[in-house]
Amino acid sequence: MTGTTDPSRTAAPVPSGPMTGRMLSRLLGWFDSKIGLPFDRLRFRISLRHLSGPRKIDLPREAVTVVALVRDGAYYLDVFLAHYRALGVSHFVFCDTGSTDDTLAQLAQESDVTVLQCRLPWGRFENIFRGYAARRFSADRWCLFADMDEILDFEGQAQLGLSGLLRYLNRHGYSAMMAQMLEMFPQAPLRSVAQQSYPEVQRCFCHYDISAVRALPYHDPASGLGFFLSRNQIPDAPPPKMQFGGIRGAVFGERCCLSKHPLVFIGTDVDPAVHPHVSAGVRVADTMAVLKHYKFANDPMARDQASLAADAIPHGEDALRVAGFAKRPDLTLWSQTAQKYDGPETGPAALRKAGFLQVSARYLAEIAD
């Protein structure tokens, strides 16, 4: 498994009214937290194994640890590790759900990597797995949750670096930074690039299309995430948005959530990774990052077919994509509304100006100094 976006508990807008949606979301969340989660956590701890790397890490408070769920992620590893090391990450914790390729052998050779494994069905246990890893390896420090096919960029990256960004977040009392997922694709039929290596994908998948993105206010119950988000504080200027759909919605009919809390300070009052996209009990920052999402790399047609056969997650998006590829074998995501992403120097700023990212004037003034 690499780069999941919307398992069964991920937000798809509900068709009911605001009050009904809010009550149902909170009722289901309460039931899960009081009855389902304690039993699942016990099963998880019994099944958990430490495979390689340090069991404990002694890092300064300003250090950042990446927590990543992985299964058969060897395709992504070199690019993933290089990007986040260059960004300033100090340690990686990979939560393996049953890799059978070279992932585990490769990671065992890395001195700054810890690998844990739980082979229980990942669609049910991924939140528990990520949350456990964050609390154990990032307590009282910042944790960066990233899927294997996600590359984080943010405005001011060249000026501040990750350490400067964290100083800004700490100075203003924030405990989480949001990001919006940006689907990256090539100017070619997807089938023609299915066998490209991940370094090649980084060069060729340089387009995006946000013309079909649908936005909701952060606390709108129609997001389906009200139970979790109700505990979070958000800035007034500009208010963050929860975003859905985008190019995957337009082409395949997916109702995928694009908004995440990838960067979270794991304090005692924070519940990290309570959902694949969000943490609870956080104070959300007044600036956002972009997560470049390479969902359509690494032979997506074959991966979706394998996912359907395994029946790992019941959200139906894999089936929608398989049906879309079957109807149009030479399907391309590129069109006249596609735009080119020009890298971290100008890409996040262009997305901010387009309204895709919400960033405050205070943050922009700081990176301009």
Judge contact between 120 and 69, C-beta under 8 A: no
Nearest to 163, CA basis, from 82, 92, 261, 61: 61
Judge contact between 70 and 1, C-beta under 8 A: yes
Judge contact between 153 and 287, C-beta under 8 A: no
Mean pLDDT confidence for 19-36: 66
Reported as type and span, the H/E element at residue 179 is strand 176-183
pLDDT at position 2: 43
Instruction: Give DSSP secondary structure letters for 328-353.
Output: -TT-----TT-EE---TTTHHHHHHH
pLDDT at position 38: 86
95/132 Cα distance (integer angstroms): 10
Band of residue 17 on the pLDDT scale cut at 50, 70, 90: low
Q: What is the pTM of this model?
A: 0.89
Structure-token pair, residue 10: 């991920």
Q: What is the pLDDT of residues 151-162, one digit of tens each?
A: 999 999 999 999
Q: What is the pLDDT of residues 234-292, one digit of tens each?
A: 999 899 999 999 999 999 999 999 999 999 999 999 999 999 999 999 999 999 999 99
Q: Which residue has the tokens 């936005």?
A: 215
**Beta pairing, strands 113-117 & 91-96:** parallel
Q: What is the pLDDT of residues 124-171, one digit of tens each?
A: 899 999 999 999 999 999 999 999 999 999 999 999 999 999 999 999
Instruction: Go through the chain and tell me how many residues it has.
Output: 369
Under DSSP, the state recorded for 185 is B
Structure-token pair, residue 160: 């501040």
38/40 Cα distance (integer angstroms): 6
Reported as type and span, the H/E element at residue 163 is helix 157-171
The chain-wide mean pLDDT, for the chain, equals: 91
Q: What is the pLDDT of residues 294-341, one digit of tens each?
A: 999 999 988 888 878 876 665 678 899 989 999 999 999 999 999 999
* Cα angle, residue 35 at apex, residues 31 and 41 outer, rounded to 5°: 125
Under DSSP, the state recorded for 25 is H
Structure-token pair, residue 344: 């971290």
pLDDT at position 310: 73
Q: Which residue has the tokens 């990212």?
A: 357
Q: What is the pLDDT of residues 198-217, one digit of tens each?
A: 999 999 999 999 999 999 99
pLDDT at position 19: 59
